[in-house]
């Protein structure tokens, strides 16, 4: 039985690998891809999402543009990590497939109302603005979402955009607060786990050795993407954040974590966007998220190589 998903994304090299992994996996039916402002502004993320679909040979996948700024704050982008296009590395042709006319938030609401309750999983891998906007506009959809599997947050790994906060949560903390308090089944892939899935020379070579346009593009995406983190952290490889969400859907046994309470800081300027994870159960706050802390990195990259190799 295939699992219906909507990927909400701000491509982003790691977003691209996540989307390719999903499109290469018959277990998943991608109902649509919704672009959000994040790594780069929305006009670029919606184009990048379409470039990735065409790279995968899937111009049939509907791509929607969503919110161009966080719910209540000015947009913060990450060109320093992803380059000015957001998809620096390979040279991908301008997309010819159309952008859907429907707003991403309307697509999310309409799809959740149309599909059987509990049959659609949301996979946000950028700031949570589109998801939160949909929940605000249509509270009835909260009970219809099967699960949210998101990349975001950090606890033991601490922040990457500030000392306290991970980028996706930092950009729109109010949106994250809405999502984490929605009472929806939630699986979180924080930096704690993504930093254990580092791209190594061998992993990148495996993509290049495929000798396919997709393999070459993924190698070029990762080559570009990892240079920033290698310089910052001083070790080989970079965390391949977003594909962890799709890999969870395909092979959850590769991961481990705890069902705990996670709250989002929205008031402090110093720690805004911090995901306060009660990993040790020191509060009486009710658990609301499966917070993933570990991954079998070899198994993760074997899955990636197997699936990407099919495109
Ligand atoms: O902090 C990592 C996250 O921020 C990833 O989703 C990356 O694509 C950026 O959006
Ligand atoms: Ca992303």
The 10s digit of each residue's pLDDT in 103-116 is 999 999 999 999 99
**Position in ligand 1 atom list of the atom nearest CA 168:** 4
pTM of the model: 0.98
For residue 236, pLDDT beyond 90: no
Q: State the sign of the Cα–Cα–Cα–Cα dihedral 6, 104, 221, 163.
A: negative
DSSP per-residue codes, 282-296: -S-PPP-EEEEEEE-
pLDDT of residue 218: 97
Residue 51 Cα to ligand 2 middle (Å): 15
Nearest alpha carbon to residue 56 among 97, 8, 99: 97
Give the chain's largest Cα–Cα span: 53
pLDDT of residue 179: 98
Q: Could you list which residues have their CB under 5 Å from ion ligand 2?
A: 10, 12, 15, 125-126, 242
Ligand 1 pocket, mutate which of 15, 169, 188, 190 (most atoms under 8 A from CB): 15
- H helices present in the chain, as ranges: 13-23, 42-55, 79-82, 104-114, 129-137, 167-171, 173-180, 191-194, 201-208, 213-233, 243-250, 297-308
pLDDT of residue 9: 98
Residue 278 Cα to ligand 1 middle (Å): 22
Residue 284 Cα to ligand 1 middle (Å): 30
Pick the more confident residue, 11 or 227: 11
pLDDT in tens, 178-198: 999 999 999 999 999 999 999
Residue 125 Cα to ligand 1 middle (Å): 7
Q: What mean pLDDT comes out for the span 122-146? A: 98
pLDDT of residue 102: 98
Ligand 1 pocket, mutate which of 152, 246, 247 (most atoms under 8 A from CB): 152
Q: What is the mean pLDDT of the chain?
A: 97
pLDDT of residue 50: 98
Note if 241 is an active site residue.
Answer: yes
- Distances from the Cα of 124 to the Cα of 27, 91, 127, 193, angstroms: 18, 25, 8, 16
pLDDT of residue 130: 99
Percent of the chain at pLDDT exceeding 70: 100
Distance of CA 31 to the CA centre of its chain: 16
pLDDT of residue 158: 93
Q: How far apart are CA 159 and CA 270, in angstroms?
A: 12
What's the pLDDT band for 93 if we cut at 50, 70, 90?
very high
**Position in ligand 1 atom list of the atom nearest CA 194:** 2
Residue 242 Cα to ligand 2 middle (Å): 6
CATH class of 3-308: alpha beta
For residue 217, pLDDT beyond 90: yes
**Position in ligand 1 atom list of the atom nearest CA 241:** 5
**Position in ligand 1 atom list of the atom nearest CA 12:** 8
**Catalytic option among 82, 195, 203, 241:** 241
pLDDT of residue 1: 81
CB of 77 closer than 8 Å to CB of 38: yes
For residue 235, pLDDT beyond 90: no
CB of 187 closer than 8 Å to CB of 147: yes
CB of 6 closer than 8 Å to CB of 112: no
Q: What mean pLDDT comes out for the span 225-248? A: 93
- Residue ranges lining ligand 1, Cβ < 6 Å: 10, 12, 14-15, 38-39, 125-126, 151, 160, 166-168, 241-242
Identify the three-state secondary structure at position 10.
Answer: coil
For residue 94, pLDDT beyond 90: yes
pLDDT in tens, 4-39: 999 999 999 999 999 999 999 999 999 999 999 999
Q: How far apart are CA 237 and CA 234, in angstroms?
A: 9
């Amino acid at each position: 039985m295939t699992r219906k998903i909507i990927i909400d994304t701000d491509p982003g090299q790691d977003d691209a690998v996540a989307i390719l992994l999903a499109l290469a996996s018959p277990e998943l039916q991608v109902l649509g891809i919704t672009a959000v402002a994040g790594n780069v502004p929305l006009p670029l993320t919606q184009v990048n999402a379409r470039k990735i679909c065409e790279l995968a040979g899937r111009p049939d996948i509907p791509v929607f543009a969503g919110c161009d700024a966080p719910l209540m704050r000015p947009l913060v982008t990450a060109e320093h990590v992803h380059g000015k296009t957001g998809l620096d590395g390979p040279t991908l042709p301008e997309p010819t497939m159309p952008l859907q006319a429907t707003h991403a938030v309307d697509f999310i609401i309409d799809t959740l109302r149309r599909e059987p309750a509990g049959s659609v999983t949301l996979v946000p891998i950028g700031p949570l603005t589109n998801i939160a906007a949909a929940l605000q506009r249509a509270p009835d959809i909260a009970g219809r979402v099967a699960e949210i599997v998101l990349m975001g947050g950090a606890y033991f790994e601490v922040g990457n955009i500030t000392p306290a906060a991970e980028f996706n949560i930092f950009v729109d903390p109010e949106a994250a607060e809405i999502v984490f308090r929605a009472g929806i089944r939630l699986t979180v892939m924080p930096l704690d786990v993504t930093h254990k899935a580092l791209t190594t020379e061998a992993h990148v070579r495996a993509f290049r050795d495929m000798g396919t346009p997709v393999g070459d593009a993924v190698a070029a995406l990762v080559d570009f993407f990892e240079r920033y983190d290698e310089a910052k952290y001083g070790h080989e490889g970079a965390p391949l954040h977003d594909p962890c969400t799709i890999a969870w859907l395909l092979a959850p046994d590769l991961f481990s974590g705890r069902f705990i309470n996670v709250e989002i800081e929205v008031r402090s300027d110093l720690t805004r966007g911090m995901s306060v994870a009660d990993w040790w159960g020191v509060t009486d706050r009710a658990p609301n998220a499966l917070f993933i802390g570990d991954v079998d990195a070899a198994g993760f990259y074997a899955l990636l190589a197997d699936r990407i190799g099919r495109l």
